[in-house]
Structure 1
């Protein structure tokens, strides 16, 4: 089974034998790949009960929980990596969730859709409506996205918080995009952060 492009980047950059917490782990695809290919001790937190059942069915250690409320229960520095993939924009208080990620893990991977991508801008400019695209397939009233973050917004936030970016990857149509123009051309971003 192949991983979603942002998850593949994360999988390639997690050190073998690490302890990992995957927040918003979905059906556990990344955790299973890390366990099977890198002998990672992976744990997961997932809101959707059907995804929790699918992950547990793969033999993974996943609990049902909410990133906005349940991360406070995890002890400091209990993982080498905390991962938040395609979930940041769905949290009520992303800044608090990120703070917990970097408290719980020595490093944090964060991936998110870029709402400043040219297709999103074009849709707003020409249609005057919130875009519905291949990567953002739901209408504004159905989407779980409540914070529309851009790459430049995230970079500014990281600077303001004094965080260190150890790695940054940008994707368009699942392929690498240029970092210099990522805010315009990249559909997704993946950052590796530490305090």
Structure 2
């Protein structure tokens, strides 16, 4: 099994036999690996028709819905783990989504592009333009990313909403970053409860 590096990190954090809800599941790659190799069960929520079809073709149980409206259908603690991978920055009401994640599941895994990454800072500082990178490939005017944040911003939002950071990891490319994570990491991962 070969997963994208960011999905591999999330996969490694999810215990065997977990009941998982993957919000913004894309083509279902993560859920497919979890059900096949870790005997997990669960559902994906995805809005894009082509991605829903791809997830179905992988054998993933997927619901076509807007993620922000999709949580209302699930009861309190109906999942062990909820995943929001590189999606939270595109949500209109980030704070409500974050609070609802731990209402629906015992714990949540959230990943997002780190706006504090040094290359992003450099692009703004030297060129005077909003950053375009591997993790943020869109121009400012056509990006789905409406709420950009840094690691510290996310941790403050968690604290404000009484969410406990259980684990944090940061990556750039396919490598984990240990030193100066807010400066040297392009993608952040949090496990919260």
Q: TM-score, normalized by length of structure 2?
A: 0.96
Give yes or no for contact 2:89–2:146 (8 Å, CA) kept in 1.
Answer: yes
Give yes or no for contact 2:151–2:182 (8 Å, CA) kept in 1.
Answer: yes
Deviations 1:143-180 (A, max 9, x none): 110001111100111122221111111101221102x5
Distance, in Å, in 1 between the alignment partners of 2:113 and 2:10 is: 15
- What pairs up with 1:26-65 in 2 under 5 angstroms? 26-65=26-65
Residue matched to 1:24: 24
Distance, in Å, in 2 between the alignment partners of 1:188 and 1:14 is: 18
Q: More deviation in 76-85 or 163-172?
A: 163-172
Question: What is the aligned residue count?
Answer: 193
Distance, in Å, in 1 between the alignment partners of 2:70 and 2:43 is: 14
* Structure 1: gaps spanning 5 or more residues: none
1:190 aligns with 2:189: yes
Distance, in Å, in 2 between the alignment partners of 1:86 and 1:2 is: 19
CA apart distance, 1:6: 2.1
RMSD: 1.1
Secondary structure of the 1:54 match is: helix
Residue matched to 1:171: 171
Distance, in Å, in 2 between the alignment partners of 1:59 and 1:173 is: 29
Distance, in Å, in 2 between the alignment partners of 1:143 and 1:3 is: 25
Runs of 4+ residues deviating >4 angstroms: none
Distance, in Å, in 2 between the alignment partners of 1:99 and 1:134 is: 29
Residue matched to 2:99: 99
1:67 aligns with 2:67: yes
Give yes or no for contact 1:34–1:42 (8 Å, CA) kept in 2.
Answer: no
Residue matched to 1:136: 136
Q: TM-score, normalized by length of structure 1?
A: 0.95
CA apart distance, 1:42: 2.3
Give yes or no for contact 1:77–1:105 (8 Å, CA) kept in 2.
Answer: yes
Distance, in Å, in 2 between the alignment partners of 1:4 and 1:94 is: 25
Deviations 1:111-138 (A, max 9, x none): 0000110000000001101111222111
Give yes or no for contact 1:49–1:64 (8 Å, CA) kept in 2.
Answer: yes
* Structure 2: gaps spanning 5 or more residues: none
Distance, in Å, in 2 between the alignment partners of 1:134 and 1:191 is: 20
Distance, in Å, in 2 between the alignment partners of 1:161 and 1:97 is: 11
